[in-house]
Structure 1
Amino acid sequence: MGNVEWGGALPPLSIEYAGERHDVPSVPGFSIGRAGDLVIDDNPHLHRRFLMIRAEQGMWWIHNVGSHLTATVCDRERTLQAALAPGGRMPVLADILDVIFTAGRTVYDLTLVTRSHGVGAADETEVGVGEATAGRVSLNHAQRLLLLVLAEGVLLGTSGPGDIPTSTAAAKRLGWTVPAFTRRLDNLCLKLERAGARGLRAGAGRVSTHRRLRLVEYAITTRLVSRADLVLLEQHTRTRSST
């Protein structure tokens, strides 16, 4: 895990949500919700102010100031994973933390980034892909689930590239709305394009009709996801069926 070692100086903290980055001031704090400093959605099931990020005692803290929603906070390696219940708080103890929560039928995810990490920027490791060299990118939990639900059949060898699920079928499998799935798909494709992926757009800014196929090919070729990662999709499915 990329533990934060600040050495007494409070590092900058930003939040990435829906492809945009928001810098967090150390005072008086930064609220997230239906009507917060970061407006997530007009979903009536979402608190007006759900989460609060602020600096206390020389550290960044995340507070759940809502009354009935719980957020899951985890690092990229899943060595840190905690449920942040209403009234709870926890320090930001990793350079990159994913925050995932559900309001009604909609799943939301955002990312807290401290220090100089750039979410969506290419890592140092590079993998050749056809005519392009693409950097390995850092995926949040929702983006990994999206790739896995599209690539599942290919990873298992039970179907070919021509049998990749439609957006509607994939959204239903994950328990997301189609607009939420499409938004996350758009953001993921943009992130991968910035890292060097090709074929996700048809030119002149138009979306490729084959981008789900190209996305699966790219993810498997660059080892963004593997068959071993399918356990995350199974866990997600089990959690949905038990609630």
Structure 2
Amino acid sequence: MATISVEFCGEWFRIPDGGELTIGRDADLRIDEDNPFLHRQFLSVVQVDSLWWLVNIGSRLSATIADTTGTMQAWLAPGARLPIVFDVTKVVFTAGPTTYELAVHAEQPEFERSPSASDPVGDTTVGPVALTLSQKQLILALSEPMLTREGSGISTVPTSAAAAERLGWPSTKFNRKLDNVCDKLDRLGVRGLRGGPGRLASNRRARLVEHAVSSRLVTIDDLPLLDQSTDDED
């Protein structure tokens, strides 16, 4: 009987005990055959002894791994692996302009999270992240396509110009606030947001969206903030 299943775009792929499922452009689970930025084989779900692992078998791309509450988040770099211990593990990654999300379901999880009084269901916050309204609006403008699609699947991170237009901001204001948000999260230990030679702006936006959605820094309930007016706090 299968103990691990992977769900992507409403399709389920069951993995029998002792088996393996590869994920990529040309793999057991074919994510997007037309995206040349995606590895032919990027991730592997495999059982070693009695424990299931998620392994990054690619050479360039990384993935954001989180539980459904967002209280656990990890960045799975090339060559790294992570044990699958929760009942549902969310996997988010970006290849080129496209962001993908899939879910790994364990029928017999190693750990079960119990909500506490100080951590109410539906109102989980990860880390001491204090954002101004305009900073949260920036993240929402970039995350809107991912938040509004149902379940796991495919979305596209907006360009800076499109996100600035969505907010009614000039591009200079948008880029300045994007720098501020990325610097703030980088200081808190979020990887992949620091600029530098060879780091594309599109990669930084995608990584920001991956972190914000996976950690529930923003949720679909926050989207009305996009239409709320605010004075410039800077």
Choose between structure 1 and 2 for higher RCO, CA contacts under 8 A separated by at least 6 residues: 2
**TM-score w.r.t. length of structure 1:** 0.47
